[in-house]
Amino acid sequence: MRFQERTISRENLEKILKVLDSDEGVRIDNESNHIFVNKSSKRYCIDVSTNNKDEFVYKNSTNEVIDFLKNHMNETSKIFAY
């Protein structure tokens, strides 16, 4: 299987997060870090990777994830779905 990645807009981020499957994810590239969002059957896992150090945060709903990401994204952030 080949890895497929596509750019998504900020406006579509919430929609993508709501329908995320366990084998899919979202990557957000910032100037200082990378953020990965995945979803299990019960909750979301957010990995904030800065200078090869990972911090994991868990959220129970899409709204909680969006609120968390608002504080970790900026205007130059690039968002990808994979």
Tens-digit pLDDT profile for residues 45-56: 999 999 999 999
What is the value of pTM for the model shown?
Answer: 0.91
Tens-digit pLDDT profile for residues 5-30: 899 999 999 999 999 999 999 999 99
Average pLDDT in the chain: 94
SS3 66: helix
DSSP letter at 60? S
CA distance 54 to 48: 6
CA distance 58 to 44: 6
**pLDDT confidence bin for 1, thresholds 50/70/90:** low
